[in-house]
Structure 1
Amino acid sequence: MFDVVAIGAGMAGLICARQLRLAGYSVAVVEKSRGPGGRVATRRVHGTRADHGARYLEPQGDAVQALIDVLVDRQILQLWTDSVGEFRQGEILSIPSSCYVAPAGMNAVGKYIAEGLDVWYGRRVKAISRTESEMWHLALEVTDDNLELPQELIARAVVVAIPAPQALMFLDTELGFSSDFLDKLRSVEYDACITVMAGYPAAKQQDLSNLNPQWKSVAFPDDADLGWIGLDSSKRLDSQQPVFVVHSSGDFADRHLESVDLPTVGQQLLDRASEHLIPWLNQPEWLQVHRWRYAFCRNPLPVSCLVAQETLPLVCAGDLCGEGQIEAALRSGVAAAVWVDSQLQDLPLDFSVNS
């Protein structure tokens, strides 16, 4: 039995769990994947790493700035570039922007916040219910091979820090949630994204040196297919080959999200990238493709967190609340921690990510 269970080990769930754990509550985090960070994600591919989720951290507000400062001090993050490109009408415009990355992979951010937390990986919440003693009961579904942990949890309070459509799979009126609360969750919409990780022969490293591109990051705000391209291998300290990461536009992702042939979909994006940037981008040595069904929240709710009234303590948090993606997720996670604390013991909270 725990005081609090956080569902989802993304930025909101982790920062909320961290604040409550530091205050003295017993906290468990349930995460369906194998690691922390949510969309701040890294994949091991062909002897290297590629950031296939969040591209970098940039100062969006006080919450992200504080996290950047701590992670730079701990040598987890370093400055990647002080300008980003925008492709408009056939030209790349340079825009000042301080972008910080983790040479070990952007998932190092989630790993740092998760330090000291009890995170149950490979578990998806299948259903929640109320016990006779007025506690939350969570039934868990195994998503990994690890069968050692129990497949149920009991908690006094629940923080739901996953995309709204996933939360609605186990939140319904039968549990006492108001129609207003559920309607607000149903109103939240997301843009999908298809990400391609592509590696090229080591010999192309010399081509890159000769080209000496002045960009590491290029956004495509007006393209029907492309959303963003980054030279991911420039983040690594020991890169042996060029690696690019390409993000699709939302429209492209909608058209191909259910495709059963993702390599062909990924090749289409590389073909498009080669037309705009470097001709050999359509000739990868290898490629991998990842679908992000809930990549960007399109219409977040104008609240710091969404509280379920007239039930046992339960609150929704994440980038579905407030503006600013990672900034919004961090702020929402902290707001959820404050609310949960007010419903339990009202212990003093430490809002520093440096703790």
Structure 2
Amino acid sequence: MFNQPSQSTDIRRIAVIGSGLSGLTAGIRLSQQGHEVRVFEKSRGPGGRLAAKRVEGGSADIGAQYFTARNPAFLPFLKEFAGENAFQMWQGRFGFRNERGEWDSFPDEPRYVGSPRMTAITRALSAHLEVIAETRIGALRKAGGGWSLADTEGTALGEFDQVIVTAPPAQAQVLLADSDLAELAAVLDEPVKKVLPCWAVAVHFAKPLTMAYEGMRVEHPVLYWVANNSSKPGREDSGQWWVLHANPDWTERHVDTPASEVAKLMVHAFRVLTGVAGEPGDVVTHRWLYARSSDGDQPGHLWFPDQNIGIAGDWLSGGRVEGAFNSACSLVEAMSEDR
């Protein structure tokens, strides 16, 4: 049975908390080594920042907008475990607008998206693992040489030799503090301060808009990113869905503003920025409390061998989607070297 002691010291029982890209990557890599892995996810399904919201006629990517593959191991991993049909190259035009209102093109490099939505990647990866959804871990308790996990209702979820936490640093810190691991929780004091929020708004226009770029990074008092979600491969929308991300400073000032008011302000900013005359027919909002890290000190992962607890996430490795993969791989390597 899963909770019985292993017959071999080489095989470990490992709990992974969070089923974003870092958690799923770590779980798959550890399973490849022969370990017993169980993934716990507080939401209804996997995804993390590779998030999409269902909208009329399809979906809109409200989290990470695309990903790069500078690590030569990343695309082969996705092809093997997510499948080649789970993602495609986004052949969009990308522009940058500086503070003076001047536009320039992004550097030319391949950019990829999940198809038909970003969550296609994590859903495909999760098929290789045992994922327990709608289960929020409340505490870790010492159990012999390992850990016993319980959800927020106090229900026991099994005993494990090692635990990997891939939640954002603020949530990871709360979990560690509630598990009487104050010393480990204190390590996250600075990272917690550096994680920035982001309001995301998806807007639909019945008549497609004519723009110079499909993706726009802007220096703007309200907006940070604007993209034609319908231009991504695999989307078959009627009209166009556009995704707007607010900049972190503006989001912090409006973090508690009602979603409807946030949407009005962001749509107005979009119209002024682009010259769009028409009003959108449908609007969907989402508030990311933990969107990306501004911390330049990013060690790749955190591994505490005395406690057999590891922490991984894109915030530890550059903040990009690919950083989640890199963080998980470096943590798994550290765990393997430590045995």
Q: TM-score range by the shorter chain?
A: 0.7 to 0.9
Counterpart Cα distance in 2 of 1:113 and 1:301: 29
> Under a length normalisation based on structure 1, what TM-score does the superposition of the two structures give?
0.84
**Pair 1:117 & 2:115 matched:** no
**Pair 1:16 & 2:14 matched:** no
Describe the shift of the 1:68–1:307 C-alpha distance in structure 2 as closer, same or farther (beyond 3 A): closer
Describe the shift of the 1:151–1:104 C-alpha distance in structure 2 as closer, same or farther (beyond 3 A): farther
**Pair 1:219 & 2:217 matched:** yes
Partner of 1:256: 254
Asked if the contact 2:82/2:124 (under 8 Å) is kept, the reply is no
SS at match of 2:188: helix
Asked if the contact 2:37/2:129 (under 8 Å) is kept, the reply is yes
Tell me by how many angstroms 1:315 deviates. 0.9
Tell me by how many angstroms 1:302 deviates. 3.6
Describe the shift of the 1:33–1:75 C-alpha distance in structure 2 as closer, same or farther (beyond 3 A): same
Asked if the contact 1:85/1:219 (under 8 Å) is kept, the reply is yes
**Pair 1:38 & 2:35 matched:** no
Tell me by how many angstroms 1:68 deviates. 6.2
Partner of 2:104: 93
Unaligned runs of 5+ in 1: 143-149, 347-355
Tell me by how many angstroms 1:243 deviates. 0.6
Which residues in structure 2 correspond to 1:1-355 (within 5 Å)? Answer: 1=3, 3-67=13-77, 74-81=84-91, 83-88=93-98, 89-95=100-106, 96-131=108-143, 133-141=144-152, 152-172=157-177, 175=180, 179=183, 181-188=184-191, 189-201=194-206, 204-205=207-208, 208=209, 211=210, 213-220=211-218, 222-235=219-232, 236-259=234-257, 261-280=258-277, 283-299=279-295, 301-311=297-307, 313-343=308-338
Tell me by how many angstroms 1:200 deviates. 1.9
Residue identity in the other structure for 1:318: G
Deviations 1:113-169 (A, max 9, x none): 2222001111111111112x2321111137xxxxxxx75232110001111110111
Tell me by how many angstroms 1:276 deviates. 1.3
Aligned residues: 323
Deviations 1:38-75 (A, max 9, x none): 00111111231100001011234335444566689712
Counterpart Cα distance in 2 of 1:67 and 1:280: 44
> Under a length normalisation based on structure 2, what TM-score does the superposition of the two structures give?
0.87
Select between 105-114 and 71-80 the one with higher mean Cα deviation: 71-80
Coordinate RMSD, CA, aligned: 2.3
Unaligned runs of 5+ in 2: 4-11
Deviations 1:205-245 (A, max 9, x none): 3xx3xx3x33110011x212101000001224421121100
Partner of 1:353: none
Describe the shift of the 1:72–1:175 C-alpha distance in structure 2 as closer, same or farther (beyond 3 A): closer
Counterpart Cα distance in 2 of 1:67 and 1:134: 32
Tell me by how many angstroms 1:76 deviates. 2.2
Residue identity in the other structure for 2:159: I
Asked if the contact 2:52/2:118 (under 8 Å) is kept, the reply is yes
Partner of 1:352: none
Residue identity in the other structure for 1:183: A
SS at match of 2:176: coil
Quote the sequence identity (%): 25
Describe the shift of the 1:82–1:244 C-alpha distance in structure 2 as closer, same or farther (beyond 3 A): closer
Tell me by how many angstroms 1:264 deviates. 1.4
Asked if the contact 1:193/1:253 (under 8 Å) is kept, the reply is yes
Counterpart Cα distance in 2 of 1:68 and 1:176: 35
Describe the shift of the 1:21–1:173 C-alpha distance in structure 2 as closer, same or farther (beyond 3 A): same
SS at match of 1:273: helix
Counterpart Cα distance in 1 of 2:81 and 2:24: 15
Tell me by how many angstroms 1:331 deviates. 1.3
Asked if the contact 1:68/1:100 (under 8 Å) is kept, the reply is no
